[in-house]
């Protein structure tokens, strides 16, 4: 078994507390309005950049915070205690988009885009297509060589941050006959002719997070904007998604913490039969079980993130933490709603939103069944 590397340093604890404070003061007052309108409050985005949490791992010489992957996970977790929709915006920026630029882009592309991603530009990660979900490499978007450019044609769906994004990491196939070995990564600007945002999805949860179709019609991308090697985009996708799963695990942990905190508070305030409902053993046992599963999920997420930062194998742990934390979050959010009773079913209290938001954890960045498949394949090789 992997060693649990989970203790927070003083600096990490201070960083997490600063994000929690920011979320409470700057995001909490906007949560209901953003959920109802199904869009991000425009005044919030600059504040996220000012906090330095849109470029946690980006190096300081490019305007980033220069922090660790673990710190980005702490930020995602802390934000999710208040609004998982804002949490996933930050998660995609850090664990997917910034990750691609730091580890696979050439210096020219890094020098151009990384300062933007650290200071004022949102990025998105364009992989999923109508016929390419769990089978992530069945891509139909094509990139054909034409002089100094590649010309992209196709469409992507369910793209997080698409409405706010100005920088697009796009996976397309330069030679469909080669199958997944033709997949290549490109960087596109929103200003490129032929790139457009299509349908915005209306969702059950995380509604302030934009989820849209992205359309490419004869989009000319300079060859210098290729990330990684030609035909090696599938490796980039695999590696970034492995880290992204830890981010989703952190989001689910934060969500579960927010739901649990609300349930504990309500149980101490709501009285029935002459005493707070938290004095009844039935409620106490439920809360104890919720807290225990949350702690287990958090330790799994932290351990996976520590292993990644330490340069040790972490793919199994990433899949496990994503699987377990998403299941735990859904259960904790459901039990929290039940503790509120009828009030949990109405929008005046936060329980129903956490419950709606929790469901996505089992679906994106690899369904629960895909995580189980990954875990088994690794165990099978032993």
pLDDT per position as a tens digit, 312-321: 999 999 999 9
R_g over Cα of the chain: 21
pLDDT of residue 6: 59
The residues, any chain, with a CB within 8 Å of residue 230's CB and separated by 6 or more, are 174, 184
Is residue 183 classed as helix, strand or coil in its secondary structure? strand
pLDDT at site 136: 77
Low-confidence ranges of the chain (pLDDT < 70): 1-6
- Position 137 scores a pLDDT of 80
Topology at the third CATH level for domain 235-380: Butyryl-CoA Dehydrogenase, subunit A; domain 3 (1.20.140)
CA–CA separation, 324 and 255 (whole Å): 14
Q: Where are the domains of the chain?
A: 10-122, 124-231, 235-380
Of 321, 319, 349, which Cα lies nearest the Cα of 336? 349
DSSP-derived 3-state class of residue 276: strand
Burial of 118-137, coded b for 16+ CB within 10 Å and e otherwise, reads bbebbbbbbbbbeebbeebb
Euclidean distance between CA atoms 119 and 210, whole angstroms: 20
Q: Give me the pLDDT at residue 2, please.
A: 40
Looking at the chain, how many residues does it have?
382
Are 317 and 308 within 8 A, CB to CB?
no
* CA 85 to chain CA mean position, Å: 9
Encoded tokens for 23: 């979320």
Architecture of domain 10-122: Orthogonal Bundle (1.10)
Catalytic residue of the set 12, 38, 365, 380: 365
pLDDT the model gives residue 289: 98
pTM for the whole structure: 0.96
3-state helix, strand, coil in the chain (%, to 5): 55, 15, 25
The CATH number, out of the four listed (2.40.110.10, 1.10.10.10, 3.30.1330.10, 3.30.420.40), of the domain defined by the range 124-231:
2.40.110.10
Active site annotation includes 365: yes
Residue 115 corresponds to which tokens in the numbers above? 């300062």
């Amino acid at each position: 078994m992997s060693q649990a590397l989970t203790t927070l340093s003083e600096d990490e604890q201070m960083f997490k507390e600063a994000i929690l404070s920011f979320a409470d003061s700057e995001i909490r007052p906007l949560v209901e309005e953003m959920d109802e309108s199904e869009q991000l409050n425009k005044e919030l985005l600059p504040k996220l950049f000012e906090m330095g949490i849109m470029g946690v791992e980006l190096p300081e010489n490019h305007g980033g915070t220069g922090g660790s992957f673990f710190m980005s996970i702490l930020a995602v977790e802390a934000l999710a205690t208040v609004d998982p929709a804002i949490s996933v915006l930050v998660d995609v920026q850090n664990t997917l988009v910034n990750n691609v630029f730091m580890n696979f882009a050439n210096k020219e592309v890094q020098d151009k885009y990384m300062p933007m991603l650290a200071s004022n530009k949102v990025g998105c990660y364009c992989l999923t297509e109508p016929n390419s979900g769990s089978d992530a490499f069945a891509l139909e978007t094509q990139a054909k060589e034409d002089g100094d450019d590649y010309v992209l044609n196709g469409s992507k769906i369910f793209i997080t941050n698409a409405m706010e994004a100005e920088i697009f990491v796009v996976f397309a196939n330069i030679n469909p006959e080669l199958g997944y070995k033709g997949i290549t990564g490109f960087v596109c600007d929103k200003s490129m002719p032929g790139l457009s945002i299509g349908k915005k999805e209306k969702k059950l949860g995380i509604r302030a997070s934009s989820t849209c179709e992205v359309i490419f019609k004869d989009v000319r991308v300079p060859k210098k904007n290729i990330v990684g090697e030609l035909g090696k985009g599938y490796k980039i996708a695999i590696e970034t998604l492995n880290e992204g799963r830890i981010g989703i695990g952190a989001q689910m942990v934060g969500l579960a913490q927010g739901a649990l905190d609300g349930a504990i508070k309500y149980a101490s305030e709501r009285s029935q039969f002459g005493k707070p409902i938290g004095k009844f053993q039935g409620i106490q046992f439920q809360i104890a079980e919720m807290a225990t599963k949350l702690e287990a999920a958090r330790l799994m997420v932290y351990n996976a993130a520590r292993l990644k930062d330490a340069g040790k194998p972490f793919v199994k742990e990433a899949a496990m933490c994503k699987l377990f934390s998403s299941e735990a979050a859904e259960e904790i959010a459901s039990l929290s709603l039940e503790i509120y009773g009828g009030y949990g079913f109405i929008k005046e209290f936060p329980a129903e939103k956490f419950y709606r938001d929790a469901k996505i954890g089992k679906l994106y960045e690899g369904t629960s069944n895909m995580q189980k498949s990954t875990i088994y394949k690794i165990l099978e090789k032993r």
